[in-house]
Amino acid sequence: MIRNRIKVLRAERDWTQADLAEKVGISRQAVISIEKYKYTPSLELAFKIAEVFNVSINEVFEHKEGENDE
């Protein structure tokens, strides 16, 4: 499973889900789905999210082995 720190990074910047969605060019619903691990973003979107936070992709996303891995 791909874990992310998007909610934490947003909170550090006082950004709403709508703020992040606008900066990245996706819907607020997409941000919600990513934060709740219901949707794994494409590699391109993952890099874009990291870019708007001005951090490396590794600081946003992390692979965790678990029951959802095959």
Supply the DSSP string of 16-69, one letter for each residue: -HHHHHHHHTS-HHHHHHHHTTS-PPPHHHHHHHHHHHTS-HHHHEEE--STT-
Q: Is pLDDT above 70 for 69?
A: no
- In tens, the pLDDT along 5-51 reads 999 999 999 999 999 999 999 999 999 999 999 999 999 999 999 99
- Give me the sign of the Cα torsion angle 48, 54, 55, 56: positive
